[in-house]
Amino acid sequence: MTSLFVKLFNKGSPMVPRVPSTGVLCTPQAVTRRLPHSCNLRTTSKRRYSSFKKRYRDLVEKHGEPPTLTKEYLIYLAGFIEGEGSFTSNITYSPRAKVAVKVDCIFNITQHVDGIVHLIAMMKHFRSGTILLKSGSNNTYVYSLQNKQALQEHVVPYYKKYGLKFTCAEKANTFVAWRKVLDCLIKKAHLTYTGLTTEIIPNVYKLNPKKGKIKKLSYENIQIYLKLFHDGKVNEAVTFLEANKTR
């Protein structure tokens, strides 16, 4: 069955996506599980929105309704992004799984509990995300959004309209690199070796290069790790990761 799938896969069957010439960093079985099923997608979308509405209602009941989302207030909220917001990308290493790494784009804003209504307003405007206590704190909350569709459809246009032209050069450069990563993820460039190594990883490593959590591997080493995985040398990739990751 697998061999038949591989033949169809490489011949470009209309029912199966074609493997790019650069190769994919996942197995045919993994791609099979990701083939779209419109009914399942609609059901999942409804469940996610239902879950979001419940989270939002719970926050409003506990902390109160946010101000009305007027143009003036949306401009005001953009100031929180400049002061307490961040555009980051996270790399999760999984050499024993079907893919070598998992890359996520993340949008965060932190606020003291006294200003949590502004986080709730952001959550309402972007129609997605969560608000949780910051790790190790009893009075600081973090609004976090990782849903790629919501980031692309809501956060990017909002920040371009209300925040980007007023921000500092460093944050503007960070946003540009972050958006490139997001665009690549939406185009599924992360499923190809070339897309991952030449489009996504270079921009991930441009994000706040002097701040925040140090990447587990240096830029040079993650390229070596991905090459080993791409060449089918999974055990060598695991050994290399363990020997070179930052502790």
Q: Is residue 160 part of a domain?
A: yes
Averaged pLDDT, 158-182? 93
Domain assignment present for residue 158? The answer is yes
Q: Is the pLDDT of residue 120 over 60?
A: yes
Residue 26 has pLDDT above 50, yes or no: no
Q: Residue 247 falls within a domain, yes or no? A: no
Residue 11 lies in a domain: no
In a domain, 176, yes or no: no
CATH of the domain at 97: 3.10.28.10
User: Do the domain assignments include residue 187?
Assistant: no
Per-residue pLDDT, 49: 65
Q: What is the mean pLDDT of residues 175-188?
A: 95
The pLDDT of residue 52 is 85
In a domain, 117, yes or no: yes
Say if residue 104's pLDDT is above 90: yes
Confidence of residue 21 (pLDDT cuts 50, 70, 90): very low
Residue 14: what pLDDT? 38
Please provide the average confidence, as pLDDT, over all residues in the chain.
81
Q: What is the pLDDT of residue 208?
A: 62
pLDDT band at 97 (very low <50, low <70, confident <90, very high): low
- pLDDT at residue 15 in the model: 34
Range of the domain at 150: 41-168
Inside any domain, residue 210: no
Per-residue DSSP letters for the chain?
Answer: -HHHHHHHHHHT-TTSPPPPTT-BSS-HHHHHHHS--HHHHHHHHHHHHHHHHHHHHHHHHHH-PPPP--HHHHHHHHHHHHHHEEEEEEEEE-TTSSSSEEEEEEEEEEEEGGGHHHHHHHHHHHT--EEEEPTT-SSEEEEEE--HHHIIIIIHHHHHHHTGGGS-HHHHHHHHHHHHHHHHHHTTGGGBHHIIIIIIHHHHTTSSTTSSSPPSS-HHHHHHHHHHHHTT-HHHHHHHHHHH---
pLDDT at 85: 94
Question: Does the pLDDT at position 75 exceed 80?
Answer: yes
Give the pLDDT score at 25: 52
pLDDT band at 199 (very low <50, low <70, confident <90, very high): very high
Domain total for the chain? 1
Residue 224: the pLDDT is 95
The pTM of the full predicted model, rounded to 2 decimals, is 0.76
